[in-house]
Structure 1
Amino acid sequence: MNAYRAKPLTYPWPPFFYMAAFAGAVGLGRTLPIAVMHGHGWVPWLSGSLLIILAVCLDVWSVKTLIERRTAVMPHRCSSHLVTCGPFHFTRNPIYLGYTLMMVGFGLITLNPWFFIMASAAVAIMTLFAVRNEERHLLSRFGFEFERYCRATSRWI
């Protein structure tokens, strides 16, 4: 049996990667502040708030879709169905995209550029260590159907 058929990850790392990136952005913002021009008061705050609301809605919609399709929500569990509807119709990783948008939103609210840098780093780390393993898992489980889905749907945006 293919090792990737069993489960994509040994531990649910993705939320911890994003929590570490968030903590890193806060810590770096306090210890190594980057001078930014202050925005027009309410514009970055409103933009960041709307982005965070969008991110939370995307995450909730994604989890709801996975639960409705009776497949694994946690990234270290074996997928029982290939989900291509709901937010998965637009992106293959809507939950991770939601986490990333949330970090960008906090960056806008706090005017801390480290959030943008750490969000970019989190995307790179997620792609290398989680997304590729999940994709190998889905490819071994669903074969051609997953390949067709990958051709039709982008990985992130």
Structure 2
Amino acid sequence: MPDTQDQNQDHQQPDDDHADVRFPPPFIYISFLVAGILSDSPWIDGQLATMPAMLMGAAVLVIAGMLALKSVPRHRKEGSNVEPWKPTTKIISDGVYGRSRNPIYVAMALLYIGISIAAGSLAALVYLVPCLLIIRFYVIGREEIYLERKFGEEYVAYKGKVRRWF
């Protein structure tokens, strides 16, 4: 007869099968970005940032977009959820996930950086530090606890091989 505790771990209740992240990570990034841009961007005065800043920002945005296009569809293809408040169905460990455990958050950070540079907003770049701390400890920290609880040794081994960011 199977152990009841093993059955409970394998078949978690739907309300418990998620990382307990209550704020969408894009909302966290956007909140800090908007606050930073409103603090000091020339956009506020109806002016543009310098052309080199806009070009550099655009280059970073392209890199962010390429990373996002390699990350998000991979979840969809595997039938897994991107949203941390929904169940994760499997550990994806190949492709960009073989280089970073969180390529979507890296892409969001690059998007943030690209927009900040293009906007000429030093304050937004400074605000990225607390933003990333919240992402790291509030979002990723909860995700890692959940994934370790759900997938056990499979996730621990993945954590041992692949860095959190890049």
TM-score (norm 2): 0.81
Q: Which runs of 5+ in 1 are unaligned?
A: 34-38
Counterpart check, 1:124 vs 2:130: no
- Preserved CA contact (<8 Å) 1:5 1:137: no
Among candidates 33, 36, 48, match of residue 25 of structure 1: 36
Name structure 2 gaps, 5 residues minimum. 1-7
3-12 vs 53-62, greater mean Cα deviation = 3-12
Contact 1:12 1:75 in 2 (8 A): no
SS across alignment from 1:48 = helix
What is the Cα deviation at residue 5 of structure 1?
5.7
Equivalent residue, structure 2, for 1:154: 163
Residues 48-95 of structure 1, C-alpha deviation per residue, up to 9 Å, x if partnerless? 101111112211221111111111111111111011112111111111
- Match among 12, 18, 31 for residue 7 of structure 1: 18
Root-mean-square deviation (CA), in Å? 2.4
**C-alpha deviations, 1:100-138, integer Å up to 9, x for none?**
111111222122111211222211011111101001111
The TM-score, its normalising length taken from structure 1, stands at: 0.85
Superposed structure 1 runs of 4+ greater than 3 Å apart: 1-5
Q: Report sequence identity in percent.
A: 20
Q: CA deviation at 1:12?
A: 4.5
Computing the radius of gyration from Cα coordinates, the structure with the larger value is: 2
Contact 1:93 1:156 in 2 (8 A): yes
Q: Does 1:16 align with 2:27?
A: yes
